[in-house]
Amino acid sequence: MGTPAVAPVKNKLNVVYLKGKGYAHQEIADGVWVDEDTVTEKVRKLQDGGLPGLLAEHYRQGKG
């Protein structure tokens, strides 16, 4: 079993792999347990920034 840090990366790669295989966003969302907006976001990140753009982690800083 992988480490927890690996799970988000695997999820992103699964989304774009299934998109490349021709699956619809709703099918992908159902298969990897995310919503359609998340699928769209991941595909767009890959299109805009390639693999580095997809895999980059962007965190929001809270007010503090």
List pLDDT tens digits, range 2-44: 555 678 889 999 999 999 999 999 999 999 999 999 999 999 9
- Supply the pTM of this predicted model: 0.77
Q: What is the pLDDT of residue 7?
A: 83
More confident residue, 53 or 61: 53
Alpha-helical segments (H) within the chain: 6-20, 25-32, 36-55
How many Cβ atoms are within 10 Å of 46's Cβ, its own excluded? 20
- Give me the pLDDT at residue 2, please: 53
- Residue 59: the pLDDT is 56
